Amino acid sequence: MDAHGARHLLARLAIGAPVGSRVEVVTVGTAESRRKPGDTGTLISIDELSATISIDVHGEIDVDPFDVRLRPLLRRTA
C-alpha cells in the first residue's frame, strides 16, 4: 500500500462509519460550527482529507475525518 492509500484507509477508520450509512454526530472539534452533537445524516463520501455528510437539517457539509466523531445509527425493523 502506498502513502496515498494508507492516508485514505486512516481517514476511513477515523470517521467510524461506512459510506452510505446513517450517522449521528457524537463529538465536534472547533473548526466547523455548522454541525453539533446530535445532528443526524447520511455519510456520502470519504477521501483522505475530508468526508461529506448530508446532514438532515443543514444540507451537505464537508468535515475533517479527524475532527468529528460519528456513530452509525442502526436501522429499525418493523
54 neighbors 70 (Cβ within 8 angstroms):
no
**Cβ neighbour number for residue 20 with a 10 Å cutoff:** 9
Buried/exposed code over 35-58 (b: 16+ C-beta within 10 A; e: otherwise): beeebebbbeebeeebbbbebeee
CATH superfamily of 3-72: SH3 Domains (2.30.30.40)
Res. 23 pLDDT band, cuts 50 70 90 = very high
Where are the domains positioned within the chain?
Answer: 3-72
Note if the pTM is more than 0.85.
no
- Residues 42-65 have pLDDT tens digits of 999 988 888 899 998 878 888 888
Grid coordinates representing 59? Answer: 444540507
Residue 66 grid cell: 479527524
